[in-house]
């Protein structure tokens, strides 16, 4: 506690400062490399692992099984439809998943009955799902529509609230990065993309922007009266704001991750693939990426976007002039990237 509190104090006063803004080139390069790596890995794996909702087909979930032999599940299907491709997988303890091509109603009932017999479970333990090949597309199309409407509205909201469209722009660009990287992580690790995962992605959007708004609010507060500031350049002010809210950013992401992590753990460990796991997995990844993006991408990006503004340039020039004139106040540790040494 005390160490954390001291650290928080030092961040607040600027005694300790992490160069989120000053080292933007480094962060952007790292961000780009991460994106390229995740994209490359996704391509290397042959694209995304789309769930059955996108491919279309029939799926059976058998729970409460003691025998997890895939062959039993496969023959339960091939007995009914000999010419079909079947994959039976053990997705969680005591749970089997059997996926096939599209079966008709009667075949579905027969297969369900066969599966009960093969795994020695009751009718209550077999769930069947049939998905048309366009269902996943319908979901993602609706999600995309939702995404566009949301981004437009939230960009307006932010521009109005912060009274500068540059904050909106920085936030939205960062948002797209978050989505791209999270998708890339999904692709490169081979996690299945299901409609539930898409819900998770949509939540990430909300979370990432929410987090950005909180940090940007502090940035706005610090840069509101720029003309009167005699110590810090614009980007130093932005950087100070990010540092001042760092404790909050870290605490928030930890607090956000804890419940999501517990769903993920229980979902993946005990229930296997399904709504809970897919949603929480996406959000879990998204919270981490979203928080990091606010600190390393959105805030520096905003400072960069404002760099060419005339009032910012004038102000920065004034501060730098004052510093080089050796007024004795110029040794503020936050000013130069070299000050990172005390991190």
Residues 15-34 that bind another protein (CB under 8 A): 15
- Candidate list 50, 221, 320, 327; residue touching another protein; CB under 8 A: 221
Q: Which long-range contacts (CB under 8 A, 24 or more apart) does 223-226 make?
A: 226/311, 226/312, 226/315
Q: Which is nearer to another protein, 79 or 224 (CB)?
A: 224
Q: Which is nearer to another protein, 259 or 337 (CB)?
A: 259
- Candidate list 21, 31, 154, 242; residue touching another protein; CB under 8 A: 154
* Span from 12-20, 40-48, 177-185, 308-316 in contact with another protein (CB under 8 A): 12-20
- Candidate list 61, 233, 235, 294; residue touching another protein; CB under 8 A: 61
- Candidate list 47, 83, 124, 326; residue touching another protein; CB under 8 A: 124
Our finding on whether 6 is near another protein (CB under 8 A) is: yes
Q: How far is the CB of 128 from another protein (least distance, A)?
A: 5
* Span from 36-44, 82-90, 201-209, 308-316 in contact with another protein (CB under 8 A): 201-209
Q: How far is the CB of 224 from another protein (least distance, A)?
A: 5
Our finding on whether 14 is near another protein (CB under 8 A) is: yes
Q: How far is the CB of 44 from another protein (least distance, A)?
A: 31
Our finding on whether 66 is near another protein (CB under 8 A) is: no
> For residues 313 and 311, what is the distance between their CA atoms, to the nearest angstrom?
5
Q: How far is the CB of 189 from another protein (least distance, A)?
A: 21
Q: Which two tokens stand for residue 174?
A: 């960062």
- Candidate list 41, 113, 247, 305; residue touching another protein; CB under 8 A: 247
- Candidate list 217, 288, 309, 336; residue touching another protein; CB under 8 A: 217
> For residues 104 and 114, what is the distance between their CA atoms, to the nearest angstrom?
15
Our finding on whether 131 is near another protein (CB under 8 A) is: yes
- Candidate list 38, 183, 237, 239; residue touching another protein; CB under 8 A: 237
- Considering only residues 267 to 326 of the shown chain, the ones binding another protein according to CB under 8 A are 267, 270-271, 274-276, 279-280, 283, 287
Q: Which is nearer to another protein, 37 or 203 (CB)?
A: 203
């Amino acid at each position: 506690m005390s160490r954390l509190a001291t650290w928080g104090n030092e961040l607040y006063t600027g005694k300790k400062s992490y160069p989120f803004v000053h080292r933007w080139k480094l962060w952007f390069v790292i961000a780009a490399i991460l994106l390229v790596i995740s994209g490359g890995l996704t391509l290397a794996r042959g694209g995304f692992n789309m769930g059955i909702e996108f491919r279309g087909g029939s799926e059976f979930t058998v729970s409460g099984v003691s025998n997890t032999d895939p062959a039993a599940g496969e023959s339960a299907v091939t007995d009914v439809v000999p010419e079909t491709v079947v994959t039976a997988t053990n997705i969680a303890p005591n749970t089997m998943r059997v996926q096939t091509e599209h079966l008709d109603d009667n075949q579905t009932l027969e297969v369900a009955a066969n599966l009960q017999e093969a795994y020695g479970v009751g009718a209550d333990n077999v769930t069947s799902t049939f998905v048309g090949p366009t269902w996943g597309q319908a979901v993602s199309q609706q999600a995309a529509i939702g995404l566009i409407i949301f981004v437009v509205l939230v960009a307006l909201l932010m521009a109005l609230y912060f009274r500068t469209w540059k904050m909106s722009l920085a936030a939205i660009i960062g948002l797209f990065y978050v989505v791209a990287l999270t998708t890339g992580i999904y692709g490169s690790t081979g996690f299945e993309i299901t409609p539930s995962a898409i819900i998770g992605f949509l939540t990430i959007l909300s979370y990432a922007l929410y987090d950005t708004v909180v940090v940007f609010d502090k940035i706005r507060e610090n840069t509101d009266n720029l003309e009167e500031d005699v110590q810090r350049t614009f980007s130093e002010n932005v950087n100070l704001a990010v540092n001042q809210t760092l404790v909050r950013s870290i605490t928030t992401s930890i607090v956000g991750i804890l419940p999501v992590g517990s769903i993920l753990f229980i979902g993946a460990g005990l229930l296997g693939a399904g709504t809970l796991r897919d949603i929480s997995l996406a959000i879990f990844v998204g919270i981490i990426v979203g928080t990091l993006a606010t600190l390393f991408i959105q805030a520096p990006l905003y400072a960069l976007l404002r760099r060419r503004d005339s009032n910012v340039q004038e102000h920065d020039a004034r501060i730098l002039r004052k510093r080089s004139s050796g007024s004795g106040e110029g040794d503020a540790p936050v000013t130069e990237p070299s000050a990172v040494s005390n991190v």
